[in-house]
Amino acid sequence: MDKPRVDATGPELVIVNKTITEKELRQRYMQTFSTEGGAIVLKDLANRCFKCDTTHSEDMINQMAMCINEGKRQVLLHIEGMMSPEGIEKLAKEPEKGSE
């Protein structure tokens, strides 16, 4: 069985030959994380992914751990950015493709 192909390199996400625009993707993030359960998950991710903590380490032994922790933090910041009012407002001002 073929795995679904995901291409997230451009402004659109392609999953199993269905193109999802950035606006639709942001709406999906909002649907997922604006529920009570989604809020609980976001809070847990904030605690686990260094939202309010530094990932910096002076110790060379911990440099790899610092890189891993920074990766976790970047995922959380991406989720929050996809749901940010600024991002949503920007998309609301952009004309839909094909409506020009």
pTM score: 0.62
| Cα–Cα distance list, 37 to 40, 41, 44, 73, 77 (Å) | 5, 6, 11, 20, 19
| More confident of the two residues 9 and 34 | 34
Q: CB of 20 within 8 A of CB of 28?
A: yes
pLDDT digits (tens, 9 = 90+) for 17-58: 577 888 888 889 999 988 999 999 999 999 888 888 887 777
User: What average pLDDT does the structure give for the chain?
Assistant: 76
